[in-house]
Amino acid sequence: MPYRQIAFPPYSEVDVQLTSFTDYGLRALIYMASLPEGRMTSISEVTEVYGVSRNHMVKIINQLSRAGYVMAVRGKNGGIRLGKPASLIRIGDVVRDLEPLSLVNCSSEFCHITPACRLKQALSKAVNSFLTELDNYTLADLVEENTPLYKLLLVE
């Protein structure tokens, strides 16, 4: 019996789906990087801009803070801001720090072909290529001189 041909979309149309955690983590960083230098924001402000739950954003900001991407300042004049210059924040690093990158569960308990399977190696190479490409971009690359972005975020 012949195999059915599968039509794959062209390379440029293939989507990689990040978790919402990573997606909103990147969006929060983009928002902070779009603000005038030194301006603090708040978790509430970021959640309002993107329409995400405060509890979810608190977890994201905590992880970004632990990784050094965000600095949280307590007190009356406190808030959150980037923990380092946007030009030093590589997008690939952020994704590595936020995204669980195990694409398949390769344990013999779940899959009987694990001892002979080469899929995990192929997927690992693909993920590394994806992250290497993202390493070519910094947060500054995404926001600097991006007037349409500033208008959408209502940043002055």
Question: What digits encode the pLDDT tens for the residues 98-140?
Answer: 988 776 667 656 777 777 888 888 888 888 999 999 999 999 9
To the question of whether residue 76 is assigned a binding role by annotation, the answer is no
Q: What is the pTM of this model?
A: 0.82
Amino acid letter for position 75: G
DSSP secondary structure, 82-126, as one string = ESS-GGG-BHHHHHHHH-----S---TTT-TTGGG--HHHHHHHH
Sign of CA dihedral 103, 109, 112, 118: positive
State both tokens at 104.
């398949």
Best CA proximity match to 130, nearest among 14, 2, 10: 14
Which residues, including other chains, have CB under 8 Å from residue 84's CB and lie 6 or more apart? 68, 69
Q: Is 117 annotated as a binding residue?
A: yes
Q: What is the pLDDT of residue 116?
A: 80
Domain ranges of the chain: 18-101+138-153
82 belongs to an annotated ligand binding site: no
For the domain made up of 18-101+138-153, the CATH class stated in words is mainly alpha
The predicted-structure confidence for 59-101, as pLDDT tens digits, reads as follows: 999 999 999 999 999 888 889 999 999 999 999 999 999 988 7
